[in-house]
Amino acid sequence: MVRVGLTPERLARAGAELADEVGFEHVTVSELARRFDVKVASLYSHLRNSHELKTRIALLALEEVADRGAAALAGRAGKDALAAFADVYRDYAREHPGRYAAMQLRLTPEEAAASAGGRHAQMTRAILRGYDLAEPDQTHAVRLLGSVFHGYVDLELAGGFSHSAPDSQESWTRIVDALDALLRNWPASS
Amino acid sequence: MVRVGLTPERLARAGAELADEVGFEHVTVSELARRFDVKVASLYSHLRNSHELKTRIALLALEEVADRGAAALAGRAGKDALAAFADVYRDYAREHPGRYAAMQLRLTPEEAAASAGGRHAQMTRAILRGYDLAEPDQTHAVRLLGSVFHGYVDLELAGGFSHSAPDSQESWTRIVDALDALLRNWPASS
DNA sequence: CCATTTGCCTAAAAGCTTTAGGCGTGTGCA
DNA sequence: TGCACACGCCTAAAGCTTTTAGGCAAATGG
């Protein structure tokens, strides 16, 4: 009976890798146990239930994206920052589709509060410092940017933009251009 | 042994209602059988497997949204059409969260081709006729609109915008305003 | 070096998925 | 009207995942 040294954190990391390999919807406590060469019941000493595993993977992914975002934003401003941050989302989703799918998991308000979600919003606000937006327009813009990044990446991953011209990279670049233009000329409230 | 009159279509409809009630992730062939007061195995004469049920729900939802979109677009143009179409997405997701979640299901290229997804794209292009956009910018704009609608609704449903000012409706309105302004002043390619 | 905690184990119940094969009911053809 | 056949729902069963309960052995620390 060798002790493998399981911890919730190791399980979450392994779960994240599993998600990238087989898809988040196929992440299962049983499969994870198999990978650690351990009996399934053993994992339940570290995880309340299978949902906790999924939640931990989601939180892990949110942290990783936040870390990448922070790195990308360092020393950048304006459109430069906008484009870099946008690419963080897109690149992460392409590199780690399983983790990205995990990020879509609906968190409870408590889980959300404890997540890196707040950092995401803060970074988006930081980008907007390069533009001249007062509240409440700044919040509207934060929500718009979040929607576009999330929405575009999701549709792209769903295959929505493949096999049709122009290619997705070009749209992505032009959309970031368009967002930059929009933020510089945000329409006054009617 | 009363014949209930099961068909793939009826199962999909019932599955859609089930999804709205209990959440798409809890839609199961077993639960559906229970609702029809029929043994589980009986459903497998009408469905290849549980994934087919989910796919059929997704296709149903895509059709419903397309139908609503077509109705909303009739007799409208420009910003009016844009706002109406945007509301179709948002309202549908709020009325039918389970069906909306089903729409996120990744379809195979064949399934996607047979879906109402094409109608969605066509309608978005129809909206853009009210603006002056030549290719390839029109395609970029189609992708942007799809991203914003999908992304916003998804984040809203995830609870991202609740419990924080300004309220979501206001952001939605202002974002549609902003998109209208952007489409009227689409930046030239650098 | 022993006591306690900790970690992984066996065992078992319950639920979902899926396949195989059977039997009664309805339909259509004579 | 009667009969044959196809179809629709059934029973049975295997395999999988989740989750709980209780046990034994290995690590920890006094």
pLDDT tens digit string along A81-133?
999 999 999 999 999 999 999 999 999 999 999 999 999 999 999 999 999 99
CA distance readout (Å), B45 to B39, B49, B67, B111: 11, 10, 30, 21
Q: Give domain status of residue B116, yes or no.
A: yes
| pLDDT of B35 strictly over 80 | yes
Average pLDDT, chain A: 95
Q: Which two tokens stand for residue B187?
A: 């930046």
B144/A175 Cβ within 8 A: yes
Q: Give domain status of residue A1, yes or no.
A: no
Q: Cα–Cα distance between A98 and A100 in angstroms, integer? A: 5
Q: Give domain status of residue A2, yes or no.
A: no
Question: In this predicted structure, what is the pLDDT of residue B41?
Answer: 96
CA distance readout (Å), A27 to A14, A138, B120: 10, 38, 32
Q: Residue type at B124? A: T
Q: Cα–Cα distance between A179 and A144 in angstroms, integer? A: 9
Whether CB of A39 is under 7 Å from strand D: the answer is no
Mean pLDDT, rounded, for B137-161? 95
Q: Cα–Cα distance between A56 and A103 in angstroms, integer? A: 10
Q: Give domain status of residue B150, yes or no.
A: yes
Q: Using CB atoms, pick whichever of B107, B159, B186 lies closest to residue A109.
A: B159
Q: Using CB atoms, pick whichever of A140, A163, A181 lies closest to residue B187.
A: A181
Using the CA of A30, give the nucleotide whose C1' is nearest: D17
Q: Is A26 exposed, middle or buried (0-12, 13-18, 19+ CB in 10 A)?
A: exposed
* Domain total of chain B: 1
Q: How far is A78 from chain B (nearest CA, A)?
A: 17
Give the rounded percent of residues in chain B with a pLDDT score beyond 70: 99
Q: Give the residue ranges of DSSP H helices in A23-116.
A: 29-35, 40-43, 50-73, 78-95, 97-103, 109-114
Q: Give domain status of residue B10, yes or no.
A: no
Q: Cα–Cα distance between B126 and B80 in angstroms, integer? A: 12
pLDDT classification of B138: cutoffs 50, 70, 90: very high
pLDDT classification of A164: cutoffs 50, 70, 90: confident
| pLDDT of B167 strictly over 90 | yes
- Residue B155, chain A, CB below 8 Å: the answer is yes
Question: In this predicted structure, what is the pLDDT of residue A1?
Answer: 67
Q: Which tens digit of pLDDT belongs to each residue from A11-26?
A: 999 999 999 999 999 9
Q: Is A87 exposed, middle or buried (0-12, 13-18, 19+ CB in 10 A)?
A: middle
Average pLDDT, chain B: 95
Question: In this predicted structure, what is the pLDDT of residue B1?
Answer: 66
Question: In this predicted structure, what is the pLDDT of residue B148?
Answer: 98
| CATH code for the domain in which residue A122 is found | 1.10.357.10
Q: Give domain status of residue A164, yes or no.
A: yes
pLDDT classification of A168: cutoffs 50, 70, 90: very high
Question: In this predicted structure, what is the pLDDT of residue A6?
Answer: 92
Residues sharing a CB contact under 8 Å with residue B90, sequence separation 6 or more, in sequence order: B149, B152, B153, B156, B172
Q: Give domain status of residue A3, yes or no.
A: no
pLDDT classification of B2: cutoffs 50, 70, 90: confident
Whether CB of A1 is under 7 Å from strand D: the answer is yes
Q: Which two tokens stand for residue A113?
A: 């509060």
Which structural domain, as residue segments, surrounds residue B136?
54-184
| pLDDT of B103 strictly over 80 | yes
Q: Which tens digit of pLDDT belongs to each residue from B42-96?
A: 999 999 999 999 999 999 999 999 999 999 999 999 999 999 999 999 999 999 9
| pLDDT of A190 strictly over 80 | no
Whether CB of A49 is under 7 Å from strand D: the answer is yes
- Bond from prior residue into A136 cis (ω within 30 degrees of 0): yes
| pLDDT of A54 strictly over 90 | yes
Q: Is B143 exposed, middle or buried (0-12, 13-18, 19+ CB in 10 A)?
A: buried
Q: Give domain status of residue A53, yes or no.
A: yes
Question: In this predicted structure, what is the pLDDT of residue B143?
Answer: 97
Q: Cα–Cα distance between A142 and A121 in angstroms, integer? A: 7
Q: Which of A107 and B189 is assigned the larger pLDDT?
A: A107
